[in-house]
Amino acid sequence: MGKDKIAVIGAGLMGHGIAQVFAVAGHRVRVFDAHQPALDTLRSRIAGNLADLDLPGGAEALVSGHGEPAETVGDADVVIEAAPEKLEIKQAIFADLVRHAPASAILASNTSVIPITDIVGDLDSADRMLGTHWWNPPFLVPLVEVVGTSRTSPDVIGRMIELLASVGKTPVHVKKDVAGFVGNRLQHALWREAIAIVAEGIADAETVDTVVKSSFGRRLAVLGPLENADLVGTDLTLDIHNVVLKHLNREPGPSPYLANLVQQGKLGMKSGEGFQTWPEEKAKALRGRVYRYLKEFKPVE
Ligand SMILES: NC(=O)c1ccc[n+]([C@@H]2O[C@H](COP(=O)([O-])OP(=O)(O)OC[C@H]3O[C@@H](n4cnc5c(N)ncnc54)[C@H](O)[C@@H]3O)[C@@H](O)[C@H]2O)c1
């Protein structure tokens, strides 16, 4: 049997990177985008990434851009949707995929936090629909969270996990289709507290980030939070939680501090200011450090 033919919906930051992962593993990949410029630069962005990673070029030739959904997915075995994080856009795309993709194709969404059940709605053939939550950049961060709904067939989940492992990813099965899955629930629990610490004047934004990067952040790639709880002892963990948990932020919605930044147009690096100010050089240097760190990261056995 030949390699699965892959289709990707959305040629943005995630879509082009996901296409690259499959192409590097020898899959033919067709990519649809609603905006022509994203298609025009698709191959050159992938070629640029491969050069940055010191990988041989050529895989980009397996990737083609298309302006028609039917042409993109018409003979696909697996479709991965990586369009903007808006429920109505994803719902419309999935309804379209049911019309245009083969009945046997697996249909996956790369949503960051939206429950897959909400995207699938009452569409027919929901047994072949699931979530595959990749991380940015998809060709450097190993994890993909695989999330089924109550209607997803276990066989489809198994086939997706096998496919992702075969292209070098680290797939995990998330057993319940909850908003944010596992990774973004954990990540945004941390961000909520980080923002609360700044809003309450306990420390400034730079200090909060220094605390994380110079302490438990150093260990996180080799020591997960629950391994750490076992390492220090569940009894110590209980003593700590007895004191500190009642003081942590529990607001059910976004922080007013964050909403205020957005309202003032302080959107972070793209506007030059967010929690910190970001002159272009400083932003570029940070992006470069993150990329180099991910590229050079070596797991220890
Ligand atoms: N950026 C991240 O770090 C990250 C990580 C994991 C998951 N995600 C998720 O991946 C998805 C895509 O995010 P991104 O960062 O690549 O966004 P992006 O804005 O870079 O790319 C989205 C692409 O979709 C295209 N598009 C817009 N409407 C469309 C439509 N109706 N049909 C097809 N294409 C359409 C846009 O032209 C754009 O090229 C989102 O659901 C996001 O939450 C993002």
Per DSSP, the residues of 87-104 read HHHHHHHHHHHHHHS-TT
Distance from the alpha carbon of residue 288 to the mean position of ligand 1, in angstroms: 22
pTM of the model as a whole: 0.96
Distance from the alpha carbon of residue 21 to the mean position of ligand 1, in angstroms: 16
Please classify residue 255 by burial: count the beta carbons closer than 10 Å to its beta carbon, then call 0-12 exposed, 13-18 middle and 19+ buried.
Answer: middle
Contacts of 46 (CB under 8 A, 6+ apart): 16, 19, 20, 23, 59, 60, 63
pLDDT at 273: 98
Residues labelled catalytic: 112, 133, 145, 184
Distance from the alpha carbon of residue 126 to the mean position of ligand 1, in angstroms: 22
Residue 225, classed as helix, strand or coil, is helix
Residue type, 90: K
| Whole-number average pLDDT of the chain | 97
Using one digit for the tens of pLDDT, what is the confidence trace for 207-266? Answer: 999 999 999 999 999 999 999 999 999 999 999 999 999 999 999 999 999 999 999 999
Q: Is the pLDDT of residue 1 over 80?
A: no
Q: Is the pLDDT of residue 129 over 80?
A: yes
- pLDDT: is 298 or 133 the higher one? 133
Rounded Cα gap, residues 122 and 145, in angstroms: 23
Contacts of 62 (CB under 8 A, 6+ apart): 23, 26, 27, 28, 29
- Which ligand 1 atom is the nearest neighbour of the CA of 32? 33
Number of helices (H) and strands (E) in the chain: give both, helices first.
14, 8
Rounded Cα gap, residues 146 and 250, in angstroms: 28
Residue 65, classed as helix, strand or coil, is strand
Using one digit for the tens of pLDDT, what is the confidence trace for 55-112? Answer: 889 999 999 999 999 999 999 999 999 999 999 999 999 999 999 999 999 999 999 9
Measured from CB, residues less than 6 Å from any atom of ligand 1 are 9-15, 32-35, 38, 82-85, 89, 93, 110-112, 134-136
Rounded to 5 degrees, φ, ψ at 28 are -75, 135
- Which ligand 1 atom is the nearest neighbour of the CA of 113? 43
Specify the residue with its C-alpha closest to ligand 1, atom 11: 82
